[in-house]
Amino acid sequence: MNKRALGNTGMSVSPLIFGANVFGWTADKTRSFELLDRFTEAGFETIDTADMYSTWAPGNQGGESETIIGEWMKTRGNRDRIILITKVGLEMGPGQKGLSAAWIERAVENSLRRLQTDYIDLYLSHIFDGDVPLEETLAAYERLLNAGKIRSVGASNHSAEQLAHALKVAAENGLPRYEVLQPEYNLYDRDSYEGALRDLAIAEGLGVITYYSLASGFLTGKYRSTHDLQKSARGGGVKSYLNERGLKILAALDKVAANHAAAPAEVALAWLMAREGVTAPIASATSLDQLDSLIRSTQLLLSDEDMACLNQSSAM
């Protein structure tokens, strides 16, 4: 499998990253272990999670995903073969959010404990925090880097202006800079990344790992009417895609998929892997069949004609 350099982190990743937001939510511990086993047995190594996954699920407090991953790595004895991504910043509870040095230093220890490891490969600012000076946030990361508790830092949910400012502050103060960007990006949601943010990421040589790579499942083709929204717990997040443009995109995915005897989700991920300014998409699965399909996307090579068809269908 051809791995790709993750920006200037010194790490290389496979072209698909497993999104562990489903662990402890729509995938229980047993299923999560099965998925992680299949993913790594297929030659993949990178797992993306966050401290607050999955606070939104009834009865959860956050940390469920990290806990499951930690138990799996301990059971399998494979920590040294895994590239582990987690995040800090979104609310875990009262007073437990943001990017202050005090909270980062508490949050990383909590994540390390749940993950049952002494280091995190990539630690991301989950959000931009306008209430905390960037110098404070980056200095906190510098201390964690020097202590060996994290290997690299990056940012999620940052605009081009916010990211550019963060890079400038790092350079001017001799502080560690964000080497990886995690934006929302998929065949439907293109505007927020394409343009200034992508141009900046390319110019600065950042690694880019995309989230919502399948538009909350819409690009699997599973949801084609309001009736279909009842098919899973994620259905409610797909309703906004059910419009003329969304259905046009699904038609293009169907066309390209038929030409390759592939599934729409496989084509949607292959499109991302072929885009300039993308290192690897993040995608999640709750069944082995779904995961096998995601894995097949890494072997799918789209032609120029395929790419043009998909680009035209999703043009704004």
**What does each of the 316 residues of the chain score in pLDDT, given as a tens digit?**
799 999 999 999 999 999 999 999 999 999 999 999 999 999 999 999 999 999 999 999 999 999 999 999 999 999 999 999 999 999 999 999 999 999 999 999 999 999 999 999 999 999 999 999 999 999 999 999 999 999 999 999 999 999 999 999 999 999 999 999 999 999 999 999 999 999 999 999 999 999 999 999 999 999 888 777 777 666 677 889 999 999 999 999 999 999 999 999 999 999 999 999 999 999 999 999 999 999 999 999 999 999 999 999 999 7
In the three-class reduction of DSSP (H, G, I as helix; E, B as strand; rest coil), residue 3 is classed as coil
The CA-based dihedral angle spanning residues 27, 32, 34, 36, taken in that order and rounded to the nearest 10 degrees: 130
Q: Evaluate whether 11 touches 277 at the Cβ level (below 8 Å).
A: no
pLDDT of residue 233: 63
Gap between the Cα atoms of 222 and 245, Å rounded: 16
Question: For 203-229, how does the pLDDT look when each residue is reduced to its tens digit (9 = 90+)?
Answer: 999 999 999 999 999 999 998 887 777
pLDDT of residue 234: 64
Closest CA to 57 of 233, 238, 240: 233
Q: Evaluate whether 265 touches 257 at the Cβ level (below 8 Å).
A: no
Distances in whole angstroms, Cα of residue 243 to Cα of each of 37, 140, 194, 238, 275 = 37, 44, 22, 11, 25
Q: Evaluate whether 117 touches 80 at the Cβ level (below 8 Å).
A: no
The DSSP bridge partners found for residue 220 are: none
| DSSP-derived secondary structure for 249-265 | HHHHHHHHHHHHT--HH
Gap between the Cα atoms of 192 and 237, Å rounded: 18
pTM value is 0.96
Closest CA to 155 of 194, 176, 183: 183
> Which sequence positions are flagged as catalytic?
53
Helices (H) and strands (E) in the chain, counts: 10, 10
Long-range Cβ pairs for the range 256-261 (8 Å, 24+): 256/302, 256/306, 256/309, 256/310, 259/306, 260/300, 260/302, 260/306
Gap between the Cα atoms of 271 and 312, Å rounded: 13
Q: Evaluate whether 114 touches 63 at the Cβ level (below 8 Å).
A: yes
User: What single-letter DSSP state applies at residue 153?
Assistant: E
Gap between the Cα atoms of 170 and 184, Å rounded: 24
For residue 54, whether the previous peptide bond is cis, meaning omega lies within 30 degrees of 0, is: yes
Gap between the Cα atoms of 199 and 76, Å rounded: 40
